[in-house]
Amino acid sequence: MIRSACHLGHFPTCSGPGWALVGQDGGQSIPLDEGRLFVFADTLLTAARPVPGSAPPPARRPPGRGHLGILANTAARAQSPDLQQALAGLDYFLDDGSAPREILPSSADERREGIRFWPQHGLLVNGSVYLFYLGVQAVTGSTWGFVNEGTGLAVLDPAGGECRRLYRRGRGDWIFWPPRTDDLHFGVQVLREGELAYVRARARLVGASWRASRATTRAAGGEPRAAPVARRPARHGRHAQQARSLRKPKPES
């Protein structure tokens, strides 16, 4: 339930050599040791050349404005603590053509299946950002044009934007939290408090039954391990979930 909202101003227009930003959604910011990391979901660009991405471009092209491209995800760094100044000074991770690029690219097989990835939220641990992301598949006949494939976890270097998707041991599967029947979105918000992090999720549930899931934390040896999660009953078909997660590891000697 949304209790209040306020207008924070207009999103400054961003552009670079041969490209201009048209629109984005799913934006969130993650605190770093210096500045913040901003992650975005679908990002619409106009460019002087075709923009490679995992989502198909729109059928129509604006006359005289070059190519339209849709990137399923992008990210940028900002230094200013002021929101408007931070958004005006976003430093995107770029491809070889100096245009924004995806930080969570789909494989060739995933692209053929219409699967792309939307960043959710994460936190900084020992210089790396542990980033939750949602995998969706484009389908016809659904209300929104896509279905939820599940939630994965990736490790991103906030300095250069290199990102490594994690896979389940012995399975080669990136889906740590499957949607099952509740359309689970895990990792929509992560809050740090000392050595603990609270990972929030949302889901559509039928009734108000208790359920259990699992969260991912980082062991001292650097490998992910599981920790239990408890869900609260949902009142209006959606609920928030808090999990013990990501206990801060000791510095390596």
- For 226-252, the pLDDT digits (tens) are 443 433 333 333 333 333 333 334 444
Residue 230 lies in a domain: yes
Residue 114 lies in a domain: no
Residues with pLDDT less than 50, the chain: 208-253
Instruction: Give the chain's domain count.
Output: 1
Q: What is the pTM of this model?
A: 0.77
Contact status, residue 201 vs residue 187, Cβ threshold 8 Å: yes
pLDDT of residue 230: 39
Residue 201 lies in a domain: yes
- 68 Cβ neighbours under 8 A, 6+ residues apart: 22, 44, 45, 46, 57, 58, 60, 61, 62
Residue 96 lies in a domain: no
β-sheet with 238-245: strand ranges across: 185-193, 196-204, 238-245, 224-231, 212-218
pLDDT of residue 205: 67
Q: At which residue do the structure tokens 């930080």 appear? A: 103
Residue 240 lies in a domain: yes
| Structural domain of 244 | 177-253
Residue 203 lies in a domain: yes
Residue 239 lies in a domain: yes
Residue 7 lies in a domain: no
For the chain, the straight-line distance linking the first and the last C-alpha, in angstroms and rounded, comes to 46
pLDDT of residue 110: 92
